[in-house]
Amino acid sequence: MIGIVDYSLGNIQNVKNALEKLEQEFILSSKKEDLMECDSIILPGVGHFGEAMHTIETLDIKEDLIELAETKRIIGICLGMQILFEYSTEGEVPGLGLIEGTVSRINTVYPVPHLGWNTLNSRYETLDQKDVYFIHSFMVTGSPYVIATADYGVEVPAVAQNKNIIGIQFHPEKSGDAGLEILRKAIKGGL
C-alpha cells in the first residue's frame, strides 16, 4: 500500500494516475495512523516551500512525517523533495531535515523556472540518460546524497537518496515510461 500525504499543495491527481498505471494500491491521507499502514509514503508538492511547511505545521503532521521516516520509505516529488531537506531560502524556513542540504533559488544563465524536458546524469544505470520533465525555480545545494543531476547551466540535483528517503526533483508522473519506471523503483526500495 502506498500513502499519498494530503496537505493540499500537491499534484495529487497526477500522482494517483501514475500509481494506477503502476497498478499500485494507495490511500490519500494526512493522518499518521493511516500512513503507518503503508509500505511507502509519497510527499507530493507544487508551490512555495514556506507555505508548504506552514501547512504541514498547521496540520500538525511535521513530527509525524519525521517519525514515519524512521521505518517507512518516504518519496518526495518536486516541492515534496525539497521539503525533505534541512532548510530553504524560499520562505527562510526549515524543512523536515531528513536529508542534509539546503534549497536555494537556481542561479543560472538560463530562464528560471527550469521548465521542460532534460536528461539525467547518474552513475546509476536506472537513472542515467533518462529524459524527464522538470518545473522548478529552486534546487538543492550542499547535499552529499545527490545521485542524479541534470545540466541547466548548473548541475541541478534531480534525485537524492539517503537510505529509505528518496527525493525526486522532476515529475515522474509527467515523464512518460521513464518516469513511471523510476517511480516504480523508488516505491519498491530504491534507485
Phi, psi of 43 (to 5 degrees): -110, 95
* Catalytic positions: 78, 171, 173
Task: Give SS3 for 75.
Answer: strand
Q: For residues 53 and 178, give the distance between their C-alpha atoms in angstroms, rounded to a whole number.
A: 30
**Taking the CA of residue 174 as centre, how many other CA atoms within 13 Å lie in the half-sphere pointing to its CB?**
18
- Whole-angstrom distance, CA of residue 152 vs CA of residue 46: 20
Extract the C-alpha cell encoding 72. 517507512
Q: Report pLDDT for 19.
A: 96
Our measurement of the distance from residue 24's CA atom to the centroid of its chain's CA atoms, rounded to an integer in Å, reads 18
Query: CATH number of the domain at 2-188, out of 3.40.50.720, 3.40.50.300, 3.40.50.880, 3.40.1000.10?
Result: 3.40.50.880
pTM assigned to the model:
0.96
Residue 190 pLDDT: 73
Torsion of CA 189, 2, 23, 15, to 10 degrees: -100
- Provide the pLDDT for residue 29: 95
**Tens digit of each residue's pLDDT, the chain (191 residues):** 999 999 987 779 999 999 999 999 999 999 999 999 999 999 998 999 999 999 999 999 999 999 999 999 999 999 999 999 999 999 999 999 999 999 999 999 999 999 999 999 999 999 999 999 999 999 999 999 999 999 999 999 999 999 999 999 999 999 999 999 999 999 987 77
At residue 86, the pLDDT reads: 98
- What pLDDT was estimated at residue 132? 98
CB atoms near residue 104 (< 10 Å): 15
* CB-based contact 138:90 (threshold 8 Å): yes
| Three-state secondary-structure class, residue 188 | helix
